[in-house]
Amino acid sequence: MWRLTSCVFLPFAAGYYLSYLFRTINTLISGRLTSDLQLGAADLGLLTSIYFLVVTAVQIPIGMLLDRFGPRRVQSALLLIAAAGAALFGISTGFLSLLIARAMIGVGVAAALMAGLKIIVLWFPRERVALINGFMIMLGALGAVTATAPAEMLLDWIGWRGLFEVLAAASAAAAVLIYIVVPERTTGSHRTHGKSTLRTVYSDARFWRIAPLSAACVGSAWALQSLWAAPWLRDVEGLDRASLVTQLFVMALALSVGALFLGLLADRVRGRRKMTEVLFAAVGTVFIVAELMLILHQPWPSLFPWCVVSVVGSATALSYAIIGDYFPTELVARANGGLNVLHFGWAFIVQYGTGLILEQWPQQEGHYPALAYQTAFSIIVVLQLAALAWFVAPWLLRSLNWKASASIARKRMGDASPVEPAIPPAEISILEADETVEW
């Protein structure tokens, strides 16, 4: 097992680690980019969110490439593109070149998670896949930890340009490591028709029940943590640089620990779909409450709600588990890929849209007012509440139907005592696995 860990698991975990670092690094350097290159909030939002837009666009094609050529060759080739993008970012002097470089980075790390999960399936025993997936996500989330206090020390030493040259070298080294060290293994010929399987996924009502809530929560958490947390802490909380970096570091640690916890939790309740759905709805509810705490901006520490925001970014462990119960094994990978498209797409909308909203207010001594952030975050919360209501609607409808059936039965029997229905409320599933809901 140690040989598999060192020669298969760790090289791909390094690739996912770099993807998370690239995803979140802009929240640390946002102030320096703004001052050095005179970027506005909308420019900063677009520059950072282009990562999510590009990853959204290439998710499905990359999934097909992974099926055809295997994760080893695809991941190593793409990481070279990420290395080139990071090098270009480090020498860019204008917004357009920065945008192109950030897009190249997005393409280069777009396969990091999918390739890692696929290599685990190819090499590790089936009964240990869920646990190893949890460790993969946890180690990847350490990239967000590195993008705080450790990266801040490098920034003070070599600046943001030098930091990106280091990241370029690290990405190239990871590409070479994966290509040389990881042995080749394929699953044979894949003759499934991508369009047919995706049509099956996207036409399933159960998918569109969970997708809005998963995208609205996970995508928003990614967008806020990877960019707007730092400006909010600076403009609204008034934190100095040292306190800001410390809070970002704690948030990133919460993300890493939360990723492992949610992964283990998803593994523990695997196959108990109703419980997984309840947990996912609970995570969404706690996320909304945390955002409301930030919006209300009461005199309590913001560290807890921001840690909740970070942890929700790893709630994919629960949504992937639910998707796994909705679809047969041969469709699960495509269904998760389809869900990832929505995650990254929503992250792009939230990240760029927040910047556009902030620019509707004039800056006051280089800071946007709290009202600007409250407005942007409130719009996000309203959409999340709608997605949460959509997710729990079938359960509410079942509960109401059960109560109505019990009431009718009592009237027919002319008895005031309650009549037990065939299925008690505690046993009513939120949505049966083989059931399609007509909305």
pLDDT tens for residues 119-167?
887 887 766 666 777 788 888 889 999 999 999 999 999 999 999 999 9
When comparing pLDDT for 297 and 103, which is higher?
103
Kindly tell me if the per-residue pLDDT of 200 is higher than 60: yes
pLDDT tens for residues 225-278?
989 999 999 999 999 999 999 999 999 999 989 888 887 887 777 666 678 889
For the entire predicted model, the pTM comes to 0.82
User: What pLDDT, on a 0 to 100 scale, did the predictor assign at position 326?
Assistant: 83
Domains and CATH numbers, the chain: 7-182+204-392 (1.20.1250.20)
Grouping H, G, I as helix, E, B as strand and the rest as coil, residue 364 is: strand
Looking at residues 413-422, what average pLDDT do you find?
54
Sign of the torsion formed by the C-alpha atoms of 123, 127, 131 and 137: positive
DSSP 290: H
Kindly tell me if the per-residue pLDDT of 412 is higher than 80: no
User: What pLDDT, on a 0 to 100 scale, did the predictor assign at position 431?
Assistant: 42
pLDDT tens for residues 233-248?
999 999 999 999 999 9
- pLDDT confidence band for 437 (50 / 70 / 90): very low
d(CA 248, CA 326): 36
Sign of the torsion formed by the C-alpha atoms of 435, 269, 223 and 302: positive
Find the radius of gyration of the CA atoms of the chain.
23
